Each structure stands twice: as C-alpha cells, then as structure tokens.
Structure 1
Amino acid sequence: MRRAPLLTLLLTLGISTAEARVRLGELLPQHPWTAAAQEVVVVYSHDCGDLGDLWSAVLAAGLPVRAVNAEDYPSPAPAGVQAWTGEAATTFARQLRVGAYPTVLLVQDGRIMNAWEGTFSGRLE
C-alpha cells in the first residue's frame, strides 16, 4: 500500500464546501483509546453511504486511525480498524458539534488541528 503524504490528504479533504462546526485547537472529548502524537479520527454513521474511498485515503496517510460510529446503528470500519460504537460514541460526536457525517479530524497531541465534514469525492494520486 502506497502512503499518501499527510498534506495531500488534508488538501484533498479540504476541497469540501461543507463547513465544520468542530472547533480547531480544542481538545478531543473523552474517548476510549490511547492518544497518539498525531492521529486521524473519522466520525461517521450508518447513513453515510459508501465510504470506501474515504477510508482508503485516510488509511494511506500512515497515521493511527480512530473510527467513531455514532448514532446507534452499527456500520463497519475497514479491516484492522476497531470502530467505537454505542451511546458513548454518539455523545462524543455531539460534544464535538459534528455538523455532518462523515467528519475527519486531524488530531495532534489531543487537539483538533484540522476538520473536514461532508461527502468525500476526491482522489489521492
């Protein structure tokens, strides 16, 4: 698997017209995983449609990926990624003020550095 540069991932995700309500610089709400120095958090729900291209782009960035399956309807994450589900996952999404699913967050030292919301239609090349 070819790793995409992180900047390419951010630029590709950044072309969305959706406006994130997630606040940059804020700490992530309480979560069940051990934080990494830099990580990607994908918050999604069952009604996002096919997220195959998004998952491929996120996984290719080479950072730890945290999947948060909100809204109480289980939806799988890619092989090797354990999705956090249930009421606590939905509470996490709401505390972030997620405006649309999926939402992708770049997190550094527990703080949100970049956020993207909406439908992924970009390609990493």
Structure 2
Amino acid sequence: MTRMRHAPLLTLLLTLGAGQADARVRLGEPLPPHPWTSAADREVVVVYSHDCGDLGELWQAVLDSGLPVRAVNAEDIPAPAPAGINPWRGAEATTFARNLKVGAYPTVLLVQGGRVLNAWEGTFRGEW
C-alpha cells in the first residue's frame, strides 16, 4: 500500500471515511475550552484514548493532510502520538471529549475558525 503525501483535504476526509461513521459530535459547534491557540484557519483535532489500538495509518493520513494537528489523549491513561505532536492529557482533555459528545475513539475533527466543520468517529482501517 502506498502512503499519501501532502494529501488534499478532500482526500483526507475520503480516506477517513467521512459520513460512514455515526458521529455524535455536532457540526458547526464551537470547540469546548482547550489549551491551544490557533493561527491557522483550518486544523485537525484527533481525540483518542489508550484502547484505540494501532493508529499509525490514521496518524499518517492526518499528518499528510498538511494541516496543523492537535492531539487530545482522553480517559486519563497516556497513549503515544507521533513525534512532534504534543498530546493534551488529563482530566481537562477527557472533559473536552465529553463536552464534544465524542461517541467513539478515535474521533477526527476538521475545525475551521474554532468550529467543527466535519467529524469522523470509529475504527480506521487505512483503506482508500
């Protein structure tokens, strides 16, 4: 399987299977309070937990999007993120996920102007 490089935004969403999962995160909603400031108009937020399994292909697809990436490691058990990504952890990270009404980990959010533009929840299989 060939890895995508600098994938356009549409390719990222298709790769993730946007629309296939039953996301409970509400589109158009502002993000709950978080510790980062964003200079980018669009960014990707990955909300995950320790029991997501191997997220290597998911992380690669997200990183290949070329957008800034935020990682939220919820549920109080540390889980790794790719080199260069500093995950937000702890009780506030879990509260962030719950305030979003995340239904499954991992959840990938496309955020524009601080609001959820698109959301995908579920198991990533790396199929495109």
- Residue 6 of structure 1 corresponds to 9
Q: Percent identity?
A: 76
Q: Provide the secondary structure at the position in 1 that maps to 2:44.
A: strand
Asked if the contact 1:16/1:117 (under 8 Å) is kept, the reply is no
In the alignment, the residues of structure 1 paired with residue 20 and residue 111 of structure 2 have an alpha-carbon distance, to the nearest angstrom, of 21
- Pick from 114, 117, 124 the counterpart of residue 113 of structure 1: 117
Asked if the contact 2:18/2:119 (under 8 Å) is kept, the reply is no
Q: Once superposed, what is the RMSD of the aligned Cα atoms?
A: 1.4
Asked if the contact 1:5/1:61 (under 8 Å) is kept, the reply is yes
Aligned length: 124
Which letter maps to 1:43?
V
In the alignment, the residues of structure 1 paired with residue 72 and residue 53 of structure 2 have an alpha-carbon distance, to the nearest angstrom, of 15
TM-score by length of 2: 0.92
Which letter maps to 2:100?
L
Q: How does 1:33-72 map to 2 (within 5 A)?
A: 33-35=36-38, 36-72=40-76
Structure 2 portions without partners, runs of 5+: none
User: Residue by residue, what CA displacement relative to the aligned partner does 1:62-109 show, whole Å, maximum 9, x if unpaired?
Assistant: 000000000000001000000000000000000000000000000000
Asked if the contact 1:16/1:118 (under 8 Å) is kept, the reply is no
TM-superposed CA distance for 1:16, in Å, is 6.4
- Pick from 63, 66, 88 the counterpart of residue 92 of structure 2: 88
- Residue 26 of structure 1 corresponds to 29
Moved over 4 A (4+): none
